[in-house]
Structure 1
Amino acid sequence: MRNAGEGNKRGNFSAPRQQRGIATLLVVLMVGLAVSVTVAATIYALRGTQSQQLTTHSATAAQAAAWRGVEALRLYLLAVEKPVWPGWVGNTQKPVSGLEALGVSKAVVTAVEATGANQYRVIAEVTGQAGVGSGLTTATVEVVYDVVPGNGMPGVPPVCHSMPNAPVVFNGDVKLDGEGTQVVDDKYDYENIVVSGKLTIGAGGRGKVSGCAKGAITVTGGDIADNGHLHSESQLVIGGMSFPAGARLWAREITFNGGSGGPLARAWAGAYDTVVYANGVAVGEARVGGSLIPSTVSGGVPWTQGTVLPTALARVKVTLTQGKGTPDEVNFLLNLPALDMTKAVDAATGELRGAGAVMEQLSGPEETAFRTAVLSFRARAIHGGGFTQGSGATTDIVDAWGWSLGLGSDNRRYDRVRAAGSLAIQHRGVRIGEFAGGGEIWAQSGNDAGAGFPAVAGRTAGYRYFGGSKQLMNEAMQPTGFEVQGSQGNFSPGLPGLPYCDVRTNYIDADVYRDQSNYIFDANGGKPQLTIRNVTRADGVVIGAASGTVYPLTNPDAAQLKVLEDLFACGSWEGADKGCRAMYNNGRWNLQPQKTPPGIFWFDGPLEVRSANPIVGTLIVRGNLGLSDGGGYKLLEAPNFAGVAKVCSGAYYPTNLCASRTAFVTWEDADGVVYTGAAIGNAAVIASGGLNAQSWTSIRGSVVLGKKITVGGAKVNIEGSLSVGNNEFSQIDIGATGMKVETPQDWKNLGQLPVCSKGSQSLPTTPGTAAVQWSRYL
């Protein structure tokens, strides 16, 4: 999942101008603490001894919220490194945003004072609130922190609101056979389907998809979304496909056994297998696109070894060789497209500077020296680059690029062909507008008389051949239309590199969301119960306190039964198959409600939902979720997708989602961007297990699954995003009538999900301390 913003760009609490790098990032984060950063950190810290002592001072929910904000600030101050602090001294009245999800309505740092060598006093005021309307209460705490900063490389705190890497993320091998599988993502410039394993699009697949896979992509039918793409870090094999104009293909190797339509905008294959140097020392390896610097090349034509002048076409994964193949293996991702390569790369030496600004560590122990090094890439071999177009592939290509290209389809047009290794053309009807070759070219249809040659214009570093027996063309032989200059020294068109498919997922633990839920279904001593939290009746009566109000499902008293009847219309209490007593059976939950209240629902075990009535809410399940065919129009709407009227204006409403009866809560990320609706309200399903959706006409809201998805019956429509296999690699087969995933119009707001990044630990050479020295209620 993509993490949300990494810094507050408004400039409050800025360090001195000479401070750079990660230290500066921490500075600008000061007044833009991401709501989820503080939530995750504070929940963890409140389990500690000090925070437990602090919370004993809170007598109301508002006071408890204020103390949560106090602890969130303490944790942040502890993470800030030593060089940052002098730039803060003297700053006053700086607001701190992003704490709303903790119940903090206002937080202001009123003073930062130096109290000694490497010692500082921070004074702040934090206001907590609870309730709404006439039941709103507030509490303000003035607090003084004593801070002794540590020194070293600070870490990156976890962020618990994030955008998905793509509208559809599959961690597994995927087979799409459904006749109507579609991912509609015309408005956003990133992958709309990503696959961590192999992707197979079967003959029955007549839907539209676009995206990437780390494994091989095999296509025997279907087509690509308009102006879409298929990228693979492995092989891409097309057995049959209808290409729209502008489609783009990119892989390690590409084989066309079929396919028609187009013309394709591009078909690229191959990269240089390189040794990575940091400050002149060999430290790792990577597969890189670009061209070889002539003065550095060793060996003959075609060139395979030399220093690469990298391009910004693809992100590059770098593996440091120390620890390779062990749990200590370190991997970095260089986002080269985010750099101005004309300034970052020395054209004479290939040295890359400033990569640390676009560098992300993917795995392994924290490695800091690599981030600031001058990098260079020395090619030692070719990785992939095979490109074969068979006779059955009747597709024109605007830009074909690879190592070894074989064009076997007649009467095809190629505006531009780049072959760093070799080019073989089988038929005379082929037309190439611009050709650049790093090796030989072979016109197989040509003859001694100079007839039968394809129409090609360009030059190549190697020799020219013709005829079935591969005869060498002499320089005097110049067939009509075959205008290729051979034996051009010091020349190679280079290679495109390897596309990086970002399929990173976050582990789904349903327990993380329990405290954010309004209706918690679990068992106590084998007896089912419902705990209601943060729910208020329209007349202001609280039926679920913030700490939780328990309603037994087997033996409620009269008042409890009245609430349960109002919420779920349980029907006849005795023996009704749709009654509340029938919700639980031997560790499994069954929901067949005549109605449901809006809110966040949490279940401590597998759940089966069979309902013909719409459900407005988020279903969070510890285990598998089944959405069964119960007849009628089957609709599940996430709260933010359903809208304020359905969530906040009814007989009962969730106060953690609603700021009032007519408005959702809002929150602000570290960049100062304000979002409407709590992030959890964008999800329709969060399950640590899988999902079996049978004929559910519409799921409005994102779906996040720990395991696989199965669909059947009528087409399943999801408005939002779909993430499958977060907890394990799965075998995923989308059959029957397929499914449709469509991103909503307000995607930048509704796309935010309550999924946490892992962050990274700080690496202090000397540890710091941050402690509350004094506090009082104002």
Structure 2
Amino acid sequence: MSYQHPLKHLANANNIGVSRQQGIATILVILMISLAMTVAAMGVMYTVRSNQQLQVAAHANTNAQADAWAGVEVFRKYLYQLADTQPEALADLSGELPIAINGLTSDALSLNADVVNVAVPAGQSAADTFDITVNITAQDATAKASSVIQVGYRIAPYLCAGGPVEISTMLDFYRDLDLGGGITVERDDHTSAEFFVDGSVSLNSISVSGIDQLAATEDITLGSAVYIPEVRSNGSLRLTGGASVGKAYVMGTIRTEGNGRVISEAYANGNINLGGGPSGRMYSLGDIANTAWANVESFQAAGDVTISGGSHGDIGARGDVNITSWINVGNVTAQQDINCPNGWTGFQQLRAAGALNGCGGGDAQGGVPVVVPVMDEIQAFSMTPVMVDAWALKSSANYVFEFVDGEMQVTVSNVHGVPNGAYHIGANSSGVKGFLCDQVSANGTCTSPAQPTHKICNGHSDQNRCFSYNQGQQRWDVDGKNMAPGVAWFEGDLNLGNGEYYNTFIATGDISTSGGHKTYSINFAGYDVICDNRFIHNSTNYFAGLYPTNFCDVSAGELISNAIGNIGMLAGGYSPADQTTYQGGNITLGASTEIFGTVMAGNYLFTGGDTEVHGYINANGLGAEGDGGNANRLGGSTTVDLTNLPPSFNPIEIPNMGGGGGACNTSENDVSRVYWSRYL
């Protein structure tokens, strides 16, 4: 039997356990490392995927933002186009407007502009701007991304024509003019009273006083005892009866009859036929013939000169000179023949490059070198009408009258003491009419507020209304003592009856007057009347404090310079719904009408009775020819009185009305620009 030491046996047993434990530990370490690597790998994969998603999202968002900025620029250009052609439409922008960009917008990508706010300027000077806040949204359905940019645009539409414009002449008429009554111009300075007509002019059986120059693009016919210092015509000139002119510049022919005559000198590209009274120096690029016995100072023609009677000064012709009776003349020069009555000697000297036929003795030579100078050719003059567009002035009006949903509505802007907004016109509980109301009952009584405080018109009595609307004729009728001062703008036709008004009246259609009507434009009436309620006649406390803030600088105690205030009446324009067709524009001044301000008719002007205008007159022929008549007509007595004008009134300056397709020569970025932006 063998003996084993127990300790040795124990040691061998312990050695076997440690080895096994070391193997298990190794396996655990490996498993832990594997797990850590797996976690690390998964973390890397998650990070990569997250980065990829972030990159995709960032890329999609970047594209949406880029699209939105493209929309910002497109809408800026859209606002520029409105400023250029329809500045009045800027005030009416509202709501959402889709934006289309060729090659960019589609079913998957949409752009929209949501107009948040429009701040309208009080005036129309170059410094006046529209501030328009718009949200531009880009929605990309494919990328499932969107971007919204809020943009503040500043639009300066009145930079387009350099602010207010000036009328070139005192009396401007486009299309033919028929004067059936007397016309008088009075002025206390050295301003030239010019009368320009884009068409023909007929002045018969009338008197004309104070006009320095009459010019027409077509024929001029003057009759009775009319005298005008200077006339110009692209057509012909005919002087009959006792009509006379100082100087005449005519592209066509000149004819005098009866006692008609040219006192100083006449120039004609065509022939001159003298059958009237004594005349001055005659120059023609055609022939000259004198068939009367009246004396003529001298003749010079590129063609022939034929004399039948009278006593005359020198005669020169590049053609023949024909003397048909025994008359007295000065020196006669012809580049061809001189033909005389047999034995005639009533001349000082004869010189002809051709023959002397029938001429008597004396200082007469034929067949000698002769050069006869001739006049320069008369060039055509042209007229360019200023734009007359009532719609362009809507945003500057203090009272905008429109017929909305079967009711008369007036929108008030820039009137002290009255919140801007739309109102009805109604009566208070006592039946006094002419108040601004938020709501009215069926019989026209204010229901909100129950006791209105702002009265804008005085009828001939408290119970007489001032405003009415003929829906069939789309005509407003204003008849009362007066109304609150400011710019009054009417959509449609406007008839102004009796009363004395301190307003600038503007209508998109036609304007007519009746009865004894007086209108004082804002600038003519002046600060005391417009801003301090000191009316010249029919003063009333109803209008106390209702002054137009865009005209009244209360701190300085003076009017704010604003060209629209020079206008007494203005009619016609291009509706925003149809920028190609001119609507309205005829002004008819009837009975006894006196206007203290410039009159701007977009189409024709018609007067009858006694009409007095303290300002310039323009009838611009922008509407359809024959709309209301075939010619401008001045009947009765028309007086243009430019004496004692107040310093606040400038009759030649009117606001820029560049609508209807006017061109803008100012830098695009000056007119329309982004002046702030932010992401929403």
TM-score bracket, shorter-length normalisation: 0.5 to 0.7
Give the conservation status (yes or no) of the 8 Å contact 1:606–1:621.
yes
Q: How far apart are residue 162 of structure 1 and its match?
A: 2.0
Relative distance call for 1:585 and 1:42 in structure 2 (3 A) is closer
Corresponding position of 1:388:
273
Is the Cα–Cα contact under 8 Å of residues 207 and 222 in structure 1 kept in the other structure?
no
Say whether 1:754 aligns with 2:641. Answer: no
Alignment of 1:283-302 (within 5 A): none
| 1:423 equivalent in alignment to 2:302 | no
Aligned to 1:699: 595
1:310-347 CA-to-partner distances (Å, cap 9, x unmatched) read: xxxxxxxxxxxxxxxxxxxxxxxxxxxxxxxxxxxxxx
Deviation per residue, 1:209-252 (Å, 9 max, x gap): 54111221122224134xx22221111111223436x4445341
CA distance in 1, matches of 2:307, 2:121: 72
Describe the shift of the 1:661–1:410 C-alpha distance in structure 2 as closer, same or farther (beyond 3 A). Answer: farther
Alignment match, 2:537: none
Cα 1:476–1:220, aligned 2, differ >3 Å: closer, same or farther?
Answer: closer
Rounded Cα–Cα distance in structure 2 between residues aligned with 1:560 and 1:485: 102
**Would you say 1:618 and 2:504 are equivalent positions?**
yes
Q: Secondary structure at the match of 2:657?
A: coil
- 1:768–1:754 distance in 2 versus 1, CA, 3 Å: closer
Distance in 2 (alpha carbons) for counterparts of 1:557 and 1:594: 26
Deviation at 1:707? 3.1
Query: Equivalent residues in 2 for 1:394-409 (5 A)?
Result: 394-398=277-281, 400-409=283-292
Q: Does the 8 Å CA contact 1:638/1:701 hold for their aligned counterparts?
A: yes
Report the AA paired with residue 680 of structure 1: I
* 8 A contact 1:255–1:389 mirrored in 2: yes
How far apart are residue 604 of structure 1 and its match? Answer: 1.2
| Distance verdict in 2 for CA 1:604–1:476, change over 3 Å | closer
Output aligned runs, 1:57-456, within 5 Å. 99-102=126-129, 157-159=160-162, 161-178=164-181, 180-184=182-186, 192-205=194-207, 209=211, 210-225=213-228, 228-243=229-244, 246-260=246-260, 264-270=263-269, 385-390=270-275, 393-398=276-281, 400-414=283-297, 416-427=298-309, 429-432=310-313, 434-445=314-325, 452-456=326-330
Give the aligned partner of residue 579 of structure 2.
none
Distance of aligned partners of 1:627 and 1:560 in 2 relative to their CA distance in 1, 3 Å threshold: farther
Per-residue deviation, 1:411: 4.4
Cα deviation code 1:73-104 (max 9, x no counterpart):
xxxxxxxxxxxxxxxxxxxxxxxxx5344489
Is the contact made by 2:592 and 2:611 (CA closer than 8 Å) also made in structure 1? yes
Distance in 2, Cα, partners of 1:484 & 1:230: 39
SS of equivalent residue, structure 1 residue 535: coil
Q: Secondary structure of the residue that 1:653 maps to in structure 2?
A: coil
Q: Quick one: distance in 2 between partners of 1:534 and 1:505?
A: 31
The match for 1:280 is none
From 531, 545, 554, give the equivalent of 1:660: 554
Aligned-partner Cα distance in 1 for 2:657–2:671:
26
Q: Report the TM-score, using the length of structure 2 for normalisation.
A: 0.63
SS at match of 1:646: helix
- 2:614 maps to which residue? 719
Q: Is the partner of 1:681 in helix, strand or coil? A: helix
Give, in whole Å, the separation in 2 of the partners of 1:220 and 1:508.
33
SS of 2:279's equivalent? strand
Cα 1:103–1:184 change in 2 (3 A) is farther
> Deviation of residue 681 (structure 1)?
0.7
- Greater shift in the superposed pair: 487-496 or 523-532: 487-496
| Contact 1:221/1:239 (<8 A) preserved | yes
Contact 1:208/1:224 (CA < 8 Å) preserved in 2?
Answer: no
Distance change (3 Å), C-alpha of 1:441 and 1:185: farther
Q: How many residues align?
A: 499
Structure 2 Cα separation of the partners of residues 518 and 54 of structure 1: 27
What is the rounded CA distance, in whole Å, between the counterparts of 1:637 and 1:737 in structure 2? 22
The whole-number CA distance in structure 1 between the counterparts of 2:243 and 2:365 is 33
The CA distance in 1 between the partners of 2:670 and 2:552, in whole Å, is: 39
TM-score by length of 1: 0.56
Question: Aligned letter for 1:234?
Answer: G
TM-align CA RMSD: 4.3
- The answer to whether the aligner puts 1:493 opposite 2:374 as a matched pair is yes
Among 442, 457, 460, the residue aligned to 1:568: 457
The 5 A counterparts of 1:489-528 are: 491-500=372-381, 502-528=382-408
Q: Write out per-residue CA displacement over residues 13-44 of structure 1, whole angstroms, 9 at most, x where no aligned residue.
A: xxxxxxxxxxxxxxxxxxxxxxxx98978666
Provide the C-alpha distance between the structure 1 equivalents of 2:503 and 2:364, rounded to a whole number of angstroms: 67
Look up the SS of the partner of 1:430 in the other structure. Answer: coil
**How far apart, in 1, do the equivalents of 2:199 and 2:342 lie?**
40
Query: Does the CA contact (< 8 Å) of 1:268 and 1:401 recur in 2?
Result: yes
Stretches of structure 1 that go unaligned for 5 or more consecutive residues are 1-36, 70-97, 105-140, 144-155, 271-384, 446-451, 537-541, 667-676
Any idea what the Cα deviations from partners look like across 1:454-484, whole Å, max 9, x if unmatched? 322253322222239999853995655x878
Gaps of 5+ in 2: 1-81, 100-111, 132-151, 345-351, 427-439, 534-543, 573-583
User: Secondary structure of the equivalent of 2:530?
Assistant: helix
Q: Is the 8 A contact 1:239 1:257 kept in 2?
A: yes
Residue identity in the other structure for 1:723: N
Q: Tell me if the contact between 2:185 and 2:641 (Cα under 8 Å) persists in the aligned partners.
A: yes
Residue 640 of structure 1 aligns to a residue whose secondary structure is helix
Residues 170 and 195 of structure 2 are in contact (CA less than 8 Å); yes or no, is this contact kept in structure 1? yes
Name the structure, 1 or 2, with higher relative contact order (CA <8 Å, separation 6+): 1
User: In the alignment, residue 654 of structure 1 is paired with which amino acid?
Assistant: P
SS at 1:648's partner residue?
A: helix
Query: Which deviations, in whole Å up to 9, do the C-alpha atoms of 1:648-688 show, x marking residues without a partner?
Result: 2222211112233655555xxxxxxxxxx311111111111
Q: Which residue of 1 aligns with 2:581?
A: none
Matched to 1:610, the amino acid is: G
SS of residue matched to 1:543: coil
**C-alpha separation between the residues in 2 aligned to 1:487 and 1:563?**
95
Q: Which residue, 510, 524, 529 being the options, matches 1:646?
A: 529
Percent sequence identity over aligned pairs: 18
Name the CA shift for 1:616/1:763 in 2 (closer, same or farther; >3 Å). closer
Q: Output the CA distance in 2 between the equivalents of 1:479 and 1:646.
A: 81
Q: d(CA) in 2 for partners of 1:513 and 1:435?
A: 59
Any conservation in 2 of the 1:212–1:230 contact (CA below 8 Å)? yes
